[in-house]
Amino acid sequence: MAEIVVVGSTNTDMVVKSAYLPKPGETLLGGEFFMNPGGKGANQAVAAAKLGGKVTFITKIGSDVFGEASLANFKKVGINTEHIFVDDNAPSGVALINVDEQAENAIVVAPGANANLLVEDIDRASAAIKSADIVLLQLEIPLETVEHTGKLAKQLGKRVVLNPAPATLLPDELLKGLFAITPNETETEFLTGIKITDETSMIKAGNALLERGVQHVIITLGSGGAFYLTTTEKMHVPGYKVRAVDTTAAGDTFNGALAVQLAQGLTFKEAIDFANKAAALSVTRLGAQASCPSAQEVADGF
């Protein structure tokens, strides 16, 4: 079974549905409220576990009910929780999410213990990284910790996949030798200064990332699928049209699915197509981790 280490954030998502997203200063009477486990790292770890990966998750939670619930959920889906650290001085992370009738969302995150996932925590979990096939990273934890994890994993000869979200300026040292990066259109523009409008602009932006040392660039395009680029190859892998209900964790599902497929030895075209399918299924359901499909559901869904 493919071994994947995910290093990242854990949050509890507090979601309110409304007809539209409120304007600044506006108060809306919303509809349904529910709480779901979330956080980009946790979403990707759960997605990878549901989709057949052997997943170890490195994260930090608070000593509170949110942290306890998150830990129980990770164990339920079969994630190795040996390197989930508890912070006695900070609360677990939370996210406030508003979802409108068009399935668009607005999110505010209070990182809590996620901000205290430190370099020394990664060193304590180095044995897990050493046994991984793929190390999957995002940017909801301190950038110093992300950089250290990437450096350690590359020193150990591991393939590192970085989902550069939320958008942050990244040092060349992190990008150099990176196995794959998976920005969406907005994040691609943030990283390269090139606005994504067509295939020509995607190639130009992708080449800018390749020149900084990334081996494989995957620009995600929502329902449009993804654009894949290396120094010798480029292709558009189409997405799947579905009726979207909630897009909250679509990108995280894509990244978890991609990591599993790459770790299992599939080609990038095959892995991206599978990830597109998984992400498409996820947007037909409410919630973050709750929306992540299983491998069988992806096989049956299209």
Instruction: Say if CB 49 and CB 42 are below 8 A apart.
Output: no
Asked if 60 contacts 83 with a C-beta cutoff of 8 angstroms, the reply is no
* Residue 144: burial class (beta carbons within 10 Å; 0-12, 13-18, 19+): exposed
Among the listed residues 64, 87, 252, 273, the single catalytic one is: 252
- For residues 210 and 111, what is the distance between their CA atoms, to the nearest angstrom? 31
**Whole-angstrom Cα distance, residue 162 to residue 126?**
18
At 189, which amino acid appears? E
Q: Could you confirm whether 100 is annotated as catalytic?
A: no
Sheet of strand 105-110, all strands in order from the earlier edge strand to the far edge: 33-38, 11-17, 93-99, 105-110
Burial 285-295 (b: 16+ CB within 10 A, else e): bbbbbbbbbbb
Q: Name, in order, each residue with C-beta under 8 angstroms of 265's C-beta and a sequence gap of 6 or more.
A: none
So which residues are the catalytic ones?
252
